[in-house]
Amino acid sequence: MMNTSYTSDLFASNISKECDILMGALYSVFFLLSLKGNCILLLVAYHRRSSLKPAEYFIINLSISDLGMTFTLFPFAIPSSFCHRWLFGEVACQIYAMCGVLFGLCSLTNLTALSLVCCLKVCFPNQGSKFSSSHARLLVVAVWCYSMVFAVGPLAQWGHYSAEPYGTACCIDWHAPNHELLALSYIVCLFVFCYALPCTFIVLSYTFILLTVRGSRQAVQQHVSPKNKTSNAHALIVKLSVAVCLGFVVAWTPYAVVSMWAALTDATQVPPTAFALAAIFAKSSTIYNPVVHLLCKPNFRESLYRDMSAFLRRIYRGSPQSEPKESDCGNLGSHSQSNNNMGSSTRFTQRQHYDYGMCRHCTDNVSQCNTPPTTERTVWSGSTCREGTV
């Protein structure tokens, strides 16, 4: 059991206070961007859940793992960075480290599965056409199980979790391999099976895709069912997947390099600042997926615009100013037309009613009430409609 002084020294920051404040500020920005971006992406995916393609299940799973990392890491790392030490004790340190490994490995393994699926659909269209949403869901479950094995390993004494060398966060104990063979075997297996092999599969998959597309553009048109004519959509998924995978690998490569440097040499010789910078790059990976897909994927972007427009129209209809008055009935047509010019999906239908000798607002002396022909205009907004007389 660790004594109090050793624990206090272990969780004290080993970098300057200015660097810790900078890390805390960057983590705060990452937290807000990741929370907003991934929540919006999941909301858009939920609204178009009936039309999701198999490859898009991995995009959704990546957002889930990014949100898991956002909720389990940043709330602990931000206050610890600003306070210049780890604030939450040994048990929270173990949980924090396990969640970081779990969600980080899940994201990388998920991107590996996505690259293999894209390669299957482009390079082997006959087999790729048989890959369904059920297969995608089973593969997503396999991704979580694979990641869980390595995340739970240190809790079962295969490796160890401890404070990071810079002191304000927790991860794998990189000093343990210097004096424990079992811990060294865990680090080597983690590097080979959870970084080197996945990155190799990602690079090879997209290399085969690019060679196939370059050699024959017909392969891109044949990798999906011709009935749906969605070859362009799948080609776009491939391009966006390359962008997300490239960003993720670039984000995690510095941490993998520094970790192996510490595990295979004397960990005390690795500067704590190197671990701190590598951790900043690694945690920035949570914001790449929603930014790429919400900004660059047309069907996600259009669905987001449609949802936002519907939300704003609902707010407008619910506001007191949106209630029509009797004096405004004559302006209903022009008001509706201006809404149409603003880009909303509003449809108008007009019906002419000629009521000679009668007026709906006159109860007596009908002969003296000369009413011009009235026009009823029906305004459709989404699934609702309202009528007004001009």
Q: Is 71 exposed, middle or buried (0-12, 13-18, 19+ CB in 10 A)?
A: middle
Shared domain check, 331 and 297: no
Closest of 90, 121, 78 to residue 212, by C-alpha:
121
pLDDT at 364: 45
Shared domain check, 266 and 137: yes
Count structural domains, the chain. 2
Question: DSSP H helical segments within 178-271, as ranges?
Answer: 181-191, 197-215, 218-222, 231-264
Q: Tell the residue number behind the tokens 């300057």, with chain if given.
A: 16
pLDDT at 148: 95
Single out the residue in 308, 343, 372 at which a domain terminates.
308
Residue 314 lies in a domain: no
Instruction: State phi, psi for 219 to the nearest 5 degrees.
Output: -65, -35
Which regions in the chain score pLDDT beneath 50?
Answer: 1-6, 219-220, 224-230, 322-371, 373-384, 387, 389-390
Q: By the 8 A CB rule, do 44 and 302 touch?
A: no
pTM of this structure: 0.71
Residue 214 lies in a domain: yes
Residue 317 lies in a domain: no
Shared domain check, 276 and 340: no
pLDDT at 35: 93
The conformational region for residue 343 under phi > 0 = left, psi -120 to 50 = alpha, else beta, is left
Shared domain check, 285 and 335: no
Residue 138 lies in a domain: yes
Residue 384 lies in a domain: yes
| Structural domain range at position 195 | 4-308
Shared domain check, 15 and 76: yes
pLDDT at 339: 44
Shared domain check, 100 and 243: yes
Residue 319 lies in a domain: no
Shared domain check, 341 and 236: no
Shared domain check, 159 and 50: yes
Q: What is the CATH number of the domain that holds 297?
A: 1.20.1070.10
What is the three-class DSSP state of 82? helix
Single out the residue in 260, 278, 308 at which a domain terminates.
308
pLDDT at 114: 87
Shared domain check, 248 and 344: no
**DSSP code per residue over 37-72:** HHHHHHHHHHHTGGG--TTHHHHHHHHHHHHHHHHH
What are the tokens at 183? Answer: 């811990």
Shared domain check, 331 and 304: no
Distance of CA 190 to the CA centre of its chain: 25
Shared domain check, 355 and 208: no
Question: DSSP H helical segments within the chain, as ranges?
Answer: 4-10, 17-47, 56-83, 89-123, 125-128, 133-152, 181-191, 197-215, 218-222, 231-264, 272-283, 288-296, 298-318, 332-341
pLDDT (tens digit per residue) in 219-241: 445 554 444 444 565 566 667 76
What are the tokens at 196? Answer: 């080197």
What are the tokens at 277? Answer: 């910078």
pLDDT at 170: 92
Single out the residue in 308, 343, 378 at which a domain terminates.
308
Residue 293 lies in a domain: yes
Shared domain check, 270 and 373: no
Instruction: State phi, psi for 59 to the nearest 5 degrees.
Output: -65, -40
